[in-house]
Structure 1
Amino acid sequence: MPDPSPSALTDADTIVVGAGLVGVTSALALARRGHRVRVLDRQAPGRGASYGNAGHLATEQVFPIADASILRALPGMLRDPMGPLRLDWKYLPRALPWLTRLVLNLRPAPFRASVAGLRALNERSLAAWQRLLASVDSAHLLRADGSLLVYEKPESHSKLAALESRMRAQQVPVERWEREAIRRAAPQLSTDLKGGLFFPATGHVLDPWRVVNTLVDAAKQEGVQFEQASVQSARLTDSGVALMTDAGEREASQVLIACGAHSAALTAQLTGKRVPLDTERGYHLMLPREHERLPFAVTSLERRFIMTPMETGLRLAGTVEFAGLVAPPNMARAWQLHRLSRGLFKTDLDAGDATPWMGFRPSLPDSLPIIDRLEHGRVLLAFGHHHLGLTQAAITAELIADLAGPAEGHPSTEPPDLPPRAPYRLSRFD
């Protein structure tokens, strides 16, 4: 089904701003509840952060993006441009309020609340993805084969044991693997690896961009319209919302803001609330000559990056940089991932024809997304998933569809098992 020209677009009940995984999955869920939906994005669907994510369904990651160790690591973050976690010193003044909130979230009560909110989403995420992909005859795009965290240094054993204990305390399925178990499951990994933790309730997708486009095609079949336009401003009206774009004004009875790291300004215009949203700049390196190296995603505990097998090769990802939305990418950080991989395999990975990438992950200081309904239903919010956008997209779409409810005259359906809404409300930042 070809994309309609702007002049052919019809009225919509709901405008979704953002054509990444969260926006597209939500648009499809809303259309299936009877809403007439239009999706606006300045880029083609899936060309932002959704294009380059690690492809890992990281349901095991139930802890916030930072703990108390970040305070000790801050000097190194400022000094080392190639470190796994980097803060651009020129960006520090702008990032300081966000970092202050992040540090305050390390206090016991808010930290526990973040863990509970992450766990509630993540433990439902894999099943939500399986439901969604099965509904579009694309279950094969997801491999629920688990993932592995490995360690190399004897002194890391106690750190791994502590992590295992924390995971078990949160009912995260985890298995301790010794060297022989790793050799049997992933024989191309180095025999120098000491062991690791295997997470059986995780998985990966074969190609994040293919997943997005599969869901776009399904959404179009449900009547969702896609328009490539940049939203410049927004205002509430008596009947809903009006969005000014570079292609003219667009009106609807409600809007869903799901444009990731670019969501704060529109949210402030429509709700009057400032959102403490910043961006993690994530890098990946795609190795198209590497197939059959790994059966599932593998993360290095010491080197702090992930390797995910995909149908187009092996993707190395995981580096994080705080430098805002304006500074140019430092692709040396992507190439650093190949250097980090050396020694993890019996033979080094082939970086021929490799391609680097950088994208913006929307991050909130408590590591929880905002999933909410405001202004008497005229404004829906779904953003701030940091590096769990892929993991949490399908369950977020189910929450958004439940918040919006069925369109008038459309039959109500029993929602799947959904987490409580309270942890994800915008009001938690009041």
Structure 2
Amino acid sequence: MLVGMSTPYFDRDHTDDLIAYLAASPSPYHAVASAAERLEKAGFRQVAETDPWEGGTGGRYVVRGGALIAWYVPEGAGPATPFRVVGTHTDSPNLRVKPLPDTGSHGWRQVAVEIYGGVPLNTWLDRDLGLSGRIALRDGTTRLVMADRPLLRVPQLAIHLDRGVNEGMKLDKQRHLTPVWGLGPVDEGALIRLVAEEAGVDAADITGWDLMTHDVQPPAYLGRDRELLAAPRLDNLLSVHAATAALIALAGEADGDGQNPPHIPVLAAFDHEENGSESDTGAQGPLLGNVLERSVAARGGSFEDRARALAGTVCLSSDMGHAVHPNYAERHEPGHHPLPNGGPILKVNVNQRYATDGTGRAVFAAACERAGVPWQTFVSNNSMPCGTTIGPITAARLGIKTVDVGVAALSMHSARELCGADDPFLLASAVKSFLEA
């Protein structure tokens, strides 16, 4: 259930559902498959990019690898009807398997990995890791794989062998992050044989793979009053889940009165945000623009209609943000200290690391007010570099007004992150309000 003005703004049923979504989505490919399954149950249907598209009403979605674009065309939508887009991403920093994965030394069997994204390396030490992702088969198909059990571990050096570890630990990405997974000589092909067994295929039929590690410890409520949520991949599957729930709720409430709707709601869940978005499934690529343009064309629209539709389009770029850290408060901007369970945060940076401007702030404030949801503001300390999102990329690539928002969290990019247990519901409610404005 998503809130309206008269509903109390916390709903742990939503957070329980987020926990289930996180557990089912250890890789971007699983995150897309889980979201697509929810859309299918709500009446959305998948369309292939290689097929001609029809312009009728209803919900549709496109899947490309670790990216998903979904939209709902209400009755009365014309060729120039603008869009309301919620932009998110499906990838998270982690350790990813190299093309020749089997390695080892000194009697240990290990798996060669590459660092993906901005990883606080120490958070991956001494954790029980599973393996997930997708495999490509000889017949041209792909299949998801998830070994959600302790398979690998990156062991930390004992303090007896590193007496200065508490004065500062420096990890070499090449030498110190290689997981162990057994004893004995290097066994060429062992990892792919295991993956084949998990997938129920012949190892000889696997010709490619995109595999990664994940912490097998499940998401959990934390604290005396269970007011916090500790989980992997909150950045940014919390936003993907919120936007999916909001789009499904909005489609379910479509009244079919035939009146001209103000806009068409869209979910854009990209891959590869954590390494710059430069891919065919990233925000730097043409995927979203192509989908919006084809949607206009399918409804009989011209180039002029497309230009008018995009001119009236607004994007809400939803990604995790920073809560004030009680042990490092000096790292934050003194006048802006977002807290968990204080509602979603508006992210502002005048140098366009975030795309929000004053008019975008007004759009977000209005959405939160309609939903009865509190909200906060995040600005970086001038002495600290500011991160960025898909927001500025989307704004520049499509020429559409974009607003950056998110949920306040601690331990961003760690193997396990922390946020308020009420904030996922508050964000979803604000997103739904934005989509239906």
For Structure 1 versus Structure 2, the TM-score category normalised by the shorter chain is under 0.3
Q: Which structure has more helix as a fraction of its residues?
A: 1
Could you tell me the TM-score, scaled by structure 2's length?
Answer: 0.24
**Structure whose alpha-carbon radius of gyration is higher:** 2
Could you tell me the TM-score, scaled by structure 1's length?
Answer: 0.24
